[in-house]
Amino acid sequence: EVQLVQSGAEVKKPGESLKISCKGSGYSFTSYWIGWVRQMPGKGLEWMGIIYPGDSDTRYSPSFQGQVTISADKSISTAYLQWSSLKASDTAMYYCARSETGIFGDWFDPWGQGTLVTVSS
Amino acid sequence: QSVLTQPPSVSGAPGQRVTISCTGSSSNIGAGYDVHWYQQLPGTAPKLLIYGNSNRPSGVPDRFSGSKSGTSASLAITGLQAEDEADYYCQSYDSSLSGHVFGTGTKVTVL
């Protein structure tokens, strides 16, 4: 079974750093892109960026470029999303999802269970 | 702000048919990029519902169907059931943004 398992909920203070993870299993981790999606409380889905673990090629949404860093460690089939200095506005649920490639566009399946990040003083 | 626009909400009685629109532009849906749909039940992660405009993954009931025309796409739910009450999102690729984009989301309420 293809599965993505994310790290647990985090509570942080503004200015702190954070790295959350997404571990893939049941497939060749290096052969599929992994994307990250933000969902702020009561809001919709926002695509943040995507990484190809095979060569660490990474693309960011213009809205998130410079705000977060996406990385991967293929030796342990894990992708990461990190912040160097959190803000209260980073409070959200973060999902990772495997990207499936189609001829005219890619879709996301499956999704991780989500990691809730709360930033509060 | 999303580049794919959906109605905030739609509702219907059990057994009825509802449709959700997803309106884009010439840099995404109109450029020929496929549209995909996700269902997000309350308190859970999104789940793929339709891929490649009209294809259903294994396990998705045939009550769900998708279509695309021009700069828009639609998701139809026939024989609406109480368990279909959820948020639904469309997704595509945008060449101007060089990245994936999601729709604004639609809440489906079963009356």
How far apart (Å, rounded) are the C-alpha atoms in residues B47 and B87? 11
Cα dihedral sign for A59, A111, B81, B76? positive
Please tell me the predicted confidence (pLDDT) of residue A104. Answer: 83
* Mean pLDDT estimate for chain A: 97
Q: Which residues of B, range 30-69, sit inside 8 Å of A by Cβ?
A: 32-36, 38, 40, 45-48, 51-52, 57
pLDDT of B13 over the 90 cut? yes
Task: Please compute the mean of the pLDDT values over residues B94-100 and round it to a whole number.
Answer: 94
Integer CA distances (angstroms), A70 to A49, A50, A100, A106, in order: 7, 7, 19, 19
Please tell me the predicted confidence (pLDDT) of residue B2. Answer: 77
Please tell me the predicted confidence (pLDDT) of residue B1. Answer: 63
Cα dihedral sign for A116, A119, B4, B10? positive
Q: How many CB contacts within 8 angstroms connect chain A with chain B? A: 79
Residue B2 near residue B104, CB atoms below 8 Å: yes
User: B21-77: per-residue pLDDT in tens?
Assistant: 999 999 999 999 999 999 999 999 999 999 999 999 999 999 999 999 999 999 999
